[in-house]
């Protein structure tokens, strides 16, 4: 892609970025620096006693099997959410892309869940799957003979949070996939049909490759969503349980810091998360940039 | 499509119709629950058709809010609105300026500034909540709208989107403006911004929803109930110690709280979609 | 003219000081629903009282979220120099508040400094001891205290052939009744809230068994968890075995198991007496309240139960007039009629003996016999070192460990004995961390 035109003003750009930078410095770097600082200490919640412990908080995390488990759960969860919400969204986008009547109705109806607060989504799904009074739980138990108890069954708990998290995200992915599909030149597809390729072959050989920048972008965004932004769902639905089966990293940071008042350990976890965020951002720009801009 | 078999023709409708039913089902349940009594909701299973308590429950949700939560539903809606609008407008303005600078100028600190802004892209507020509280307090911004809004406009999502869009604007347009002797700012305000309508609209929708749905941060930094948002109200109803949750009121309030963001999405759907996807190419 | 104006201003100034400058103190709390209304009501009563009016004192209640949200908000506020005067902290946070060097002002000091009459002996012993030092100095003001009781479904009892007016008194009878209830067609026999508070802490106290060494932590930070005894093992093994055929149904942590009982799926339940009002409101059947069961072969059982709930702490660093207002407020809420009002409206226990007696005179316990049972259970015997209460640092983490491990036990991931031992071991690690910070 041709590089964008650049103005020659010397002082103006600094003035333009100033508001953004001020905010970033005050509300990101300053608190981040504080988190780094606090991660080297052990302190009582009120700040009355502070003991310098060097890297002990980090060492404790790295040798704690719970932290490792939390890491694994987080990755699995992010991947599950990404795959399921992207897969479903793609499928729906394909259906909505066909020249059918009511397609703008369908589009509207599939997009609006995006407006629902993540916390609210968590509450809704908890409500439906509550083993004691939930409508769907009742259906599963009474009509399908299935044992549903996400309070004790870790796999079911995991499934529940995946569904709740994906539900919202399908709308977002749907928008992108639909736009991506609509930008595939119809002539290309028709030519393949004339050559005798069936619908499945047409999809995988032509449409999907052309969709790959969209897919890659969504994959990154969905992984980020699943990894970082699903805190309200875990908080409302499982509180990290049963046992610690759904205690993802973001939830653990909050719980250890805010509820259990372990400021040092929580800060260390925040720092690790921030490092991962930075890594992901660099990755996103180095690789996604290249894929997208051809 | 290309094949015209009858089955193929109806399949999309069936699939989409079913999906819509499945996706909308939770909200339907919320509506049903908001029209029933607590006892009906808690008897397994809850009936899936609306009950007869619509008026009673919504009345209570709207009016009793004042009693239970120290703030009327009206006040909370106002605050949610101020937060949502403050965050979206604030973020858009600041981000447009920053993205413009990063894309259209070459200056010494460009790379540094670029990376500084973009590493904020994904950090959720929960992770930085305690240190940010201290910062806000040090600045004397507790219990204020500024304190509610400013930390929420940190993340670089808008800068990212606008950057992508600006980069896809044909070079000739900026060049042409220079030939006409326009200053960079004139180019910005008279040519670039109008072109950026759809991404701006998309960002507005996303940030409005983000701001509207905040509860953890406002709860922490406000002690004055006149700053409570709707989501705090809902959260408060769910976290009773020793008190049974009144699900029907929770559901009614949840529905009420959902209306503005859903309206925003539905009304601005066209621009939202166009704005998000145009820049992606 | 000038002289007249000066005189007028002088007069206004003098007149102004005759009415005291208003002092408003904030009271951060975690009460919702009816309880939240009652907090507001109590504060309103105080603000309207003649003494408060004369002195210009006002207490302003602010809801800050759940107990842990509120505590955390208080800590964050304190670190930022913005603490409220009064904060409600759950019993689990007692040790943390106590060990906070210089952050809190002990209540007994507050009352003495402000020359308020204050006699710890008017408070019910099991309640005040929880929040006092070993020497009997009260550090926080008890406010909403509850204790654990058993609720049972009288109609289900009848159907199962059990006597609805006589709840099982011992655990063997209890388990027997649970099996009968299940056999009579119910989903399950029983469930419980708060596995930690009810089945471990209260269980230990009720059987005069140590939950932790050093009088459950009252006497020192070098306390250790010792609840994983053969008795506790027997108890948990039974519950685990009964969970296999759903005689015992697990309903979730904290108070999430309530719907199992209120919707009629199980016939017996353990919950705080603070939930009494909710039971009355949501149970469509006739239910009764009874004492916790005990194992009859344990000497000293039943001893007394311990409290749950929260108390009011006062932050340091406020101005003297603020403390004067707080002191007056504390005196106010300890009065028998205010206590009786709070107790009867919310379901929490009366914190003074006088309030208890007043309530009894008012005939309240005739319509709400469950309350009396709870109080009598608390007063059953004079508290021993094992039943004064619990004082552990990092206590909410320890309870979380107990919840998580219990869930693993029920899911079959770990044996009952290993699970209990793990709870003690992991919990002890947390106690050592706390000790290290607060030596």
CB pairs < 8 Å spanning A and C: 81
Check A44 against C397: CB less than 8 A apart: no
pLDDT in tens, C141-196: 999 999 999 999 999 999 999 999 999 999 999 999 999 999 999 989 999 999 99
- Higher pLDDT among residues A290 and A130, named by residue: A130
Is the CB of residue C188 less than 8 Å from the CB of residue C266?
yes
What share of chain C has pLDDT > 70, as a percent?
95
Q: Which helix H or strand E contains C269, and what residues bound it?
A: strand C266-272
Check A115 against B264: CB less than 8 A apart: yes
**Count: domains in chain C:** 2
**Count: domains in chain A:** 1
Residue B37 lies in a domain: no
Q: Which domain holds residue C252?
A: 147-306+382-437
Q: Is residue C17 scored above 50 in pLDDT?
A: no
Residue B92 lies in a domain: yes
Q: Chain A, 169-228: which have a CB under 8 Å from a chain C CB?
A: none
Q: What is the pLDDT of residue B277?
A: 65
Mean pLDDT value of segment C7-33: 70
Mean pLDDT, chain B, whole residue set: 80
Mean pLDDT value of segment B63-89: 78
What is the model's pTM? Answer: 0.81
Is the CB of residue A180 less than 8 Å from the CB of residue A212?
no
Kindly identify which residue of chain C lies nearest to residue A262, measuring between CA atoms.
Answer: C394
Taking alpha carbons only, the member of B216, B215, B210, B207 closest to residue B130 is B216
Mean pLDDT value of segment C31-46: 87
Residue C315 lies in a domain: yes
Residue B257 lies in a domain: yes
Q: Which domain holds residue A73?
A: 66-114+166-292
**Is C296 in the same domain as C409?**
yes
Residue C424 structure tokens = 């003690």
Is the CB of residue B261 less than 8 Å from the CB of residue A160?
no
Residue C245 lies in a domain: yes
**Is C151 in the same domain as C139?**
no
**Is C22 in the same domain as C83?**
yes
**Is C218 in the same domain as C159?**
yes
Q: What is the Rg, in whole angstroms, of the alpha carbon atoms belonging to chain B? A: 23
**Is C192 in the same domain as C315?**
no
Helices then strands, counting H and E runs in chain A, come out as 16, 2
**Is C213 in the same domain as C313?**
no
Between the alpha carbon of residue C45 and those of residues B71, C49, C143, C274, C347, the distances in Å are 20, 6, 16, 22, 19
Q: Which of B60-64, B144-148, C13-17, C92-96 has the lowest mean pLDDT?
A: C13-17
Residue B107 lies in a domain: yes
C145: phi then psi, degrees, rounded to nearest 5: -110, 145
Residue B70 lies in a domain: yes
Q: What is the pLDDT of residue A291?
A: 52
- Higher pLDDT among residues A258 and C406, named by residue: C406
Residue C10 lies in a domain: no
Residue in the structure block whose two tokens are 């004064």? C388
Residue A131 lies in a domain: no
Give SS3 for A33.
helix
Is the CB of residue B277 less than 8 Å from the CB of residue A179?
yes
**Is C231 in the same domain as C181?**
yes
Q: Is residue B241 scored above 60 in pLDDT?
A: no
Residue A256 lies in a domain: yes
Ramachandran assignment for A102, one of left (phi > 0), alpha (psi -120 to 50 degrees), beta (any other): left
Residue A121 lies in a domain: no
**Is C410 in the same domain as C265?**
yes
pLDDT in tens, C252-264: 888 888 888 988 8
**Count: domains in chain B:** 1
The string of DSSP letters for C373-401 reads HHHHHHTSS---TTTS----TTHHHHHHH
Q: Quote the DSSP letter at residue A51.
A: E
Residue A276 lies in a domain: yes
Taking alpha carbons only, the member of C126, C133, C103, C128 closest to residue C118 is C128
Taking alpha carbons only, the member of B88, B96, B93 closest to residue B192 is B96
Final residue of a structural domain among C321, C345, C371? C371
Is the CB of residue B217 less than 8 Å from the CB of residue B129?
yes
In sequence order, the 6+-apart residues with CB closer than 8 A to the CB of A135 are A128, B29, B45, B46, B48
Q: Is residue B69 scored above 60 in pLDDT?
A: no
Confidence of residue C357 (pLDDT cuts 50, 70, 90): very high
Question: Is the peptide bond preceding residue B45 cis, with omega within 30 degrees of 0?
Answer: yes
**Is C158 in the same domain as C251?**
yes
Mean pLDDT, chain A, whole residue set: 82
Q: Is residue C315 scored above 90 in pLDDT?
A: yes
Residue A220 lies in a domain: yes
Between the alpha carbon of residue C304 and those of residues A190, A237, C198, the distances in Å are 83, 36, 13
**Is C229 in the same domain as C264?**
yes
CB pairs < 8 Å spanning B and C: 96
Assign 3-state DSSP to chain C and report helix, strand, coil percentages, each to 5: 50, 15, 35
Give SS3 for A66.
helix
Q: What is the pLDDT of residue B93?
A: 94
Check A110 against B121: CB less than 8 A apart: no
Q: Give burial (CB, 10 Å; 0-12/13-18/19+) of A28.
A: buried
Final residue of a structural domain among C330, C346, C371? C371
Q: What is the pLDDT of residue A288?
A: 62
Mark out chain C residues that contact chain A at CB-CB < 8 A: 68-69, 71-72, 75, 78-79, 96, 99-103, 250-253, 256, 259-260, 263, 265, 394, 396-397, 400, 403-405, 407-408, 410-411, 413, 433, 436-438
Q: Tell me which chain B residues have a C-beta less than 8 angstroms from the C-beta of C66.
A: 239, 241
Confidence of residue B137 (pLDDT cuts 50, 70, 90): confident
Q: Which domain holds residue B142?
A: 57-278
Domain with residue A261: its CATH number is: 1.10.3720.10
Q: What is the Rg, in whole angstroms, of the alpha carbon atoms belonging to chain A? A: 23
Final residue of a structural domain among C346, C371, C396? C371
pLDDT in tens, A15-64: 999 999 999 999 888 888 888 888 999 888 887 788 898 899 999 899 88
Residue A187 lies in a domain: yes
Q: Give burial (CB, 10 Å; 0-12/13-18/19+) of A147.
A: exposed
Q: Is residue C14 scored above 60 in pLDDT?
A: no
Confidence of residue C84 (pLDDT cuts 50, 70, 90): very high
Q: Tell me which chain B residues have a C-beta less than 8 angstroms from the C-beta of A13.
A: 101-102, 105, 107, 110
Q: Chain A, 159-218: which have a CB under 8 Å from a chain B CB?
A: 167, 170, 175-176, 178-180, 183, 189-190, 193, 199, 213-214, 217
Mean pLDDT value of segment A284-288: 71
Confidence of residue B199 (pLDDT cuts 50, 70, 90): confident
C109: phi then psi, degrees, rounded to nearest 5: -70, -45
Exposure letters C72-89 (e unless 16+ CB within 10 A, then b): bbbbbbbbbebbbbbbbb
Domain with residue C112: its CATH number is: 3.40.190.10
Residue A138 lies in a domain: no
CA distance B34 to A24: 42
**Is C222 in the same domain as C365?**
no
Residue B11 lies in a domain: no
Mean pLDDT value of segment B156-177: 84
Kindly identify which residue of chain C lies nearest to residue B240, measuring between CA atoms.
Answer: C32
Check B265 against A29: CB less than 8 A apart: no
In sequence order, the 6+-apart residues with CB closer than 8 A to the CB of C10 are none
Residue C4 lies in a domain: no
Check B167 against A12: CB less than 8 A apart: no
pLDDT in tens, A255-274: 888 778 888 888 898 888 88
Residue B47 lies in a domain: no
pLDDT in tens, C123-146: 988 888 889 887 888 999 999 999
Residue B67 lies in a domain: yes
Residue B220 structure tokens = 């922490």
CA distance B151 to A234: 23
> For B68, which of C28, C32, C255 is closest by C-beta distance?
C32
Domain with residue B163: its CATH number is: 1.10.3720.10
Check C272 against B242: CB less than 8 A apart: yes
Residue C7 lies in a domain: no
């Amino acid at each position: 892609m041709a590089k964008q035109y650049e103005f020659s003003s010397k002082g103006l750009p600094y003035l333009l970025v100033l508001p953004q930078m001020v905010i970033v410095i005050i509300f990101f770097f300053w608190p981040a620096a504080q988190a780094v600082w606090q991660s080297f200490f052990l302190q009582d919640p009120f700040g009355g006693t502070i003991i310098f412990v060097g890297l002990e908080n980090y060492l404790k995390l790295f040798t704690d099997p719970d932290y490792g488990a939390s890491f694994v759960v987080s990755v699995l969860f992010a991947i599950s959410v990404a795959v399921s919400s992207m897969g479903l969204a793609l499928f729906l986008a394909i259906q909505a892309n066909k020249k059918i009547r009511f397609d703008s109705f369908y589009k509207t109806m599939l997009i609006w869940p995006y407006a629902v607060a993540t916390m609210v989504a968590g509450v809704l799904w908890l409500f439906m799957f509550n083993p004691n009074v939930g409508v769907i739980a009742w259906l599963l138990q009474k009509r399908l003979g299935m044992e549903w108890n996400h309070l004790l069954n870790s796999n079911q708990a995991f499934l529940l949070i995946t569904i709740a998290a994906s539900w919202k995200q399908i709308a977002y992915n749907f928008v992108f996939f639909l736009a991506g599909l609509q930008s595939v030149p119809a002539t290309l597809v028709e030519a393949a049909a004339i050559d005798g390729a069936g619908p499945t072959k047409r999809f995988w050989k032509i449409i999907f490759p052309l969709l790959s920048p969209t897919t890659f972008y969504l994959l990154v965004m969905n992984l980020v969503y699943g990894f970082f932004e699903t805190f309200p769902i875990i908080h409302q639905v499982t509180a990290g349980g049963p046992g610690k089966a759904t205690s993802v990293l973001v939830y653990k940071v909050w719980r250890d810091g805010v509820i259990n008042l372990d400021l040092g350990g929580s800060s260390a976890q925040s720092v690790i998360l921030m490092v991962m965020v930075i890594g992901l951002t660099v990755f996103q720009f180095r690789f996604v940039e290249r894929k997208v801009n051809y | 499509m290309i094949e015209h078999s009858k089955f193929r023709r109806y399949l999309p409708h069936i699939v989409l119709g079913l999906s819509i039913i499945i996706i909308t089902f939770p909200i339907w349940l919320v509506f049903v629950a908001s029209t029933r009594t607590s006892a009906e909701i808690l008897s397994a299973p809850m009936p899936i058709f609306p009950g007869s308590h619509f008026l009673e429950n919504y009345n209570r949700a709207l009016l009793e809010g004042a009693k239970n939560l120290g703030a009327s539903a009206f006040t909370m809606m106002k605050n949610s609105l101020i937060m949502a609008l403050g965050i979206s407008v604030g973020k858009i303005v600041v981000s447009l300026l920053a993205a413009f600078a990063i894309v259209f100028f070459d200056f010494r600190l460009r790379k540094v500034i670029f990376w500084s802004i973009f590493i904020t892209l994904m950090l959720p507020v929960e992770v930085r909540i305690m240190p940010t509280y201290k910062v806000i307090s040090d600045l004397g911004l507790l219990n204020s709208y500024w304190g509610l809004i400013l930390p929420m406009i940190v993340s670089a999502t808008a800068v990212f989107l606008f950057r992508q869009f600006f980069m896809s604007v044909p070079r000739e347009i900026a060049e042409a403006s220079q030939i006409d002797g326009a200053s960079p700012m004139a180019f910005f305000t008279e040519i670039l911004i109008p072109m950026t309508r759809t991404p701006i609209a998309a960002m507005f929708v996303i940030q409005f929803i983000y701001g509207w749905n905040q509860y953890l941060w406002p709860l922490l930094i406000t002690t004055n109930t006149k700053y409570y948002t709707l989501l705090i109200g809902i959260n408060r109803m769910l976290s009773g110690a020793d008190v049974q949750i009144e699900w029907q009121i929770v559901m009614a309030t949840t529905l009420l709280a959902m209306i503005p963001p859903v309206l925003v999405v539905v009304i601005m759907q066209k621009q939202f979609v166009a704005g998000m996807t145009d820049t992606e190419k | 003219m000038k002289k007249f104006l000066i005189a007028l201003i002088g007069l206004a100034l003098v007149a102004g000081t005759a009415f005291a400058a208003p002092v408003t103190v904030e009271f951060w709390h975690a009460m919702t629903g009816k309880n939240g209304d009652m907090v507001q009501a109590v504060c309103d009563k105080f603000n309207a009282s003649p003494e408060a009016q004369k002195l210009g004192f006002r207490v302003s209640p602010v809801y800050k979220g759940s107990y842990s949200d509120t505590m955390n908000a208080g800590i964050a506020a304190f670190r930022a120099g913005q603490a409220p005067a009064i904060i409600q902290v759950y019993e689990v946070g007692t040790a943390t508040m106590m060990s906070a060097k210089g952050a809190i002002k002990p209540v007994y000091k507050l009352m003495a400094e402000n020359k308020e009459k204050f006699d710890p002996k008017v408070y019910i012993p099991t309640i005040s001891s929880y929040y006092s030092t070993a020497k009997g100095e009260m550090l926080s003001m008890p406010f909403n205290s509850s204790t654990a009781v058993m609720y049972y479904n009288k109609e289900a009892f009848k159907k199962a052939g059990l006597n609805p007016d006589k709840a099982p008194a011992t655990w063997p009878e209890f388990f027997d009744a649970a099996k009968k209830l299940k056999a009579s067609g119910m989903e399950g026999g029983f469930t419980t809230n708060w596995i930690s508070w009810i089945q471990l802490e209260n269980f230990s106290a009720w059987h005069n068994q140590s939950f932790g060494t050093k009088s459950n932590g009252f006497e020192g930070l070098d306390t250790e968890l010792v609840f994983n005894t053969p008795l506790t093992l027997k108890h948990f093994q039974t519950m685990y075995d009964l969970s296999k055929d759903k005689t015992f149904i697990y309903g979730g942590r904290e108070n999430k198991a309530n719907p199992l009982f209120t919707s009629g799926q199980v016939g017996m339940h353990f919950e705080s007496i603070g939930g009494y009002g909710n039971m009355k409101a949501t149970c469509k059947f006739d239910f009764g309240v009874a004492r916790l069961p005990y194992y009859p072969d344990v000497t000293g059982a039943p001893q007394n139960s311990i409290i749950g709930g929260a108390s009011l702490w006062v932050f340091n660093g406020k101005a003297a007039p603020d403390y004067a207002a707080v002191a007056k407020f504390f005196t106010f809420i300890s009065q028998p009629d205010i206590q009786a009002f709070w107790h009867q409206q919310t379901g929490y226990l009366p914190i003074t003996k006088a309030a208890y007696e007043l309530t009894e005179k008012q005939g309240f316990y005739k319509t709400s016999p469950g309350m009396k049972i709870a109080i009598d259970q608390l007063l059953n015997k004079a508290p021993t070192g094992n039943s004064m209460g619990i004082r552990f640092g990092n206590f909410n983490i320890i309870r979380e460990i107990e919840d998580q491990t219990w869930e693993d036990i029920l899911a079959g991931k770990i044996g009952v004995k290993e699970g209990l031992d793990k709870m003690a071991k992991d919990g002890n690690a947390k106690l050592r961390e706390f000790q290290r910070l607060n030596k």
